[in-house]
Every structure is written in structure tokens, then in C-alpha cells.
């Protein structure tokens, strides 16, 4: 049968992102000319690249590339813009920061996102990864109804790329994630990267210095009886029957 999504550019770019990750470029349009940043540092588009010379007119601040070479400068070849959702669904490990309204990818890329959207993206990715693992183990096994819905959701997301893409303000949220500087003894929370005073053993997000909660049996360093939300991993007071962030019911 003919593939109904065979000509969808957004879906094709998502596949390219999955294949070429972690070759990601962030475009800083605030610089003149625009600056291109990878995890290794600044790079330049190779003159043979189709996007060369039109960096300020690209339709996304995120790009993926095939090859990096160093001559007089560090150049990247075969680069193309990608949808932020392609990075969130097919890129590296993601971590939701509810308090700062961001999703962090592999500890260095940050995208602005509401807590509700972040939770939905995380859940869709978990479902997709589970589906892919099952298909690898049993390629000929039929898809369940839930699996079909997951595939349809992903395909629809990228087939309506322009309308589904985050607004410009969210695109500007992609940036290198710096470590905050404080006084001697202060520490960066391993869960949300917030700077915590040396006198504190628990971050405001509830994580301890080692990434664990501060009170045994109480998630996030809270009081006994407090519970961890199954939807967004927030720490919720024992008296609450639903999560204050995403509305999930107490397990």
C-alpha cells in the first residue's frame, strides 16, 4: 500500500534527526551574523551547504548536520533545519524542569515548555520507545490499538509541522545550559540545575545533593506520606489527592 506520509517533509526530517543525533546545531540569531553553536563549540556552515549565506532566514533555530571538518575553520556539511519536536522525541535523554518551564536535552539544550506540554511530550516519547523496542524484538508482531494511536500521533504531529511547532519564544528557549556560579560550597542541583546554598541539603525542587530526596520514604525530601506524581514526577503533599502540576491522580 502507498504510504500516506511518504511525502511529508517534517516526518522525513524527524527520521534524519533520529539517524544523525547528536549532530545538533543551535542558531543564535541575536548575533550579527548569526552564530552557530554545537556541544563542542562554534561552527560554520560549509560554503557547499545549501543553507550557507542564508542563516538569518532559516525557518528554525535548530539544525542537524552530517559531517564536521576542520580546515581554516570548523565547518559542518549537509545541514538542514529540524522541528524542535523531532529533537524532543528522537534526540537524547530529556529531563522536565517544571519550575523553570523547560525541557533539558542531554544536559545542554533547553527548550521553553509549559508543564502540561512537557509531560505530554515525555509520555509520548516513552510510549514510542516502548513500541520501537517491541518491534525490534518481534518485527512481524502486529501493532496493538495503543501502538497504532502512538504511530498516528507522531505522524500527525510532523505532518502538521508548521501549525504544531512552538511559537518563536519557545524556539528561543534552546540554548546552551550553563552551570550557575555561587559562593564556595554552593552546589548545582543534579535534577534541575538550580544553584543551591551550601547551607541547604535539599533543592527547592525536592532533590538532594546526590539526586535523591532528603527524607527516606518521602519523595523530593518532603514529609512521610508525600507522594511522587506518576505523570510528571513532582513531589506532592500527602493531603493532596491529585498533582498540582499536571493533575494526575494519586496512585
How many Cβ atoms from other residues are within 10 Å of residue 148's Cβ? 12
Q: What is the DSSP letter of 163?
A: H
Question: CA–CA separation, 228 vs 222, rounded Å?
Answer: 10
> Can you spell out the DSSP letters for 178-212?
PPPP-STT-EE-TTT--EE-TT-SB-TTS-BTTSS
Residue with cell 515548555: 113
Going residue by residue through the chain, which has 251 residues, state the pLDDT in tens, using 9 for 90 and above.
Answer: 556 666 678 888 899 999 999 999 999 988 888 999 998 899 999 999 988 999 989 988 899 999 999 998 999 999 999 988 899 999 988 888 887 888 889 888 888 888 888 888 889 999 999 999 999 999 999 999 999 999 998 988 887 655 344 433 333 444 444 444 567 887 776 655 567 778 877 765 566 676 554 443 444 445 677 777 776 666 777 778 877 666 677 88
- According to DSSP, the β-strands at 102-105 and 109-112 are antiparallel
Q: How far is CA 223 from CA 10, 214, 220, 236, 249, in A?
A: 46, 9, 9, 10, 19
pTM of the model: 0.62
- According to DSSP, the β-strands at 74-77 and 41-45 are parallel
Question: 3-state SS of the chain: helix, strand, coil percent to 5?
Answer: 30, 20, 50
Which three three-digit cell numbers place residue 133?
523496542
Q: Check if the beta carbon of residue 244 is closer than 8 Å to that of residue 233.
A: no
Nearest to 16 by CA among 73, 70, 65, 68: 65
Amino acid at each position: 500500500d502507498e504510504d500516506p506520509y511518504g511525502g511529508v517533509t517534517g516526518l522525513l526530517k524527524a527520521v534524519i534527526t533520529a539517524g544523525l543525533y547528536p549532530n545538533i546545531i543551535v542558531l543564535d540569531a541575536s548575533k550579527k551574523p548569526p552564530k552557530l553553536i554545537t556541544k563542542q563549540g562554534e561552527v560554520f556552515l560549509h560554503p557547499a551547504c545549501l543553507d550557507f549565506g542564508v542563516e538569518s532566514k532559516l525557518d528554525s533555530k535548530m539544525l542537524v548536520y552530517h559531517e564536521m571538518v576542520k580546515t581554516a575553520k570548523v565547518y559542518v556539511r549537509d545541514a538542514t533545519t529540524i522541528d524542535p519536536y523531532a529533537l524532543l522525541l528522537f534526540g537524547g535523554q530529556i529531563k522536565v524542569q517544571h519550575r523553570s518551564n523547560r525541557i533539558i536535552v542531554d544536559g545542554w539544550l533547553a527548550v521553553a515548555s509549559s508543564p502540561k506540554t512537557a509531560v505530554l511530550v515525555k509520555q509520548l516519547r516513552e510510549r514510542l520507545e516502548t513500541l520501537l523496542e517491541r518491534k525490534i524484538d518481534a518485527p512481524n508482531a502486529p501493532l496493538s490499538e495503543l501502538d497504532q494511536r502512538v504511530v498516528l500521533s507522531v505522524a500527525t504531529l510532523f505532518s502538521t509541522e508548521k501549525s504544531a511547532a512552538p511559537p518563536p519564544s519557545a524556539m528561543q528557549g534552546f540554548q546552551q545550559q550553563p552551570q550557575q556560579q555561587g559562593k564556595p560550597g554552593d552546589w548545582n542541583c543534579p535534577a534541575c540545575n538550580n544553584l543551591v546554598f551550601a547551607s541547604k541539603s535539599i533543592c527547592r525542587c525536592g532533590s538532594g545533593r546526590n539526586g535523591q530526596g532528603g527524607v527516606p520514604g518521602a519523595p523530593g525530601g518532603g514529609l512521610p506520606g508525600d507522594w511522587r506524581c506518576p505523570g510528571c514526577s513532582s513531589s506532592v503533599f500527602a493531603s493532596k489527592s491529585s498533582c498540582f502540576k499536571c493533575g494526575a491522580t494519586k496512585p
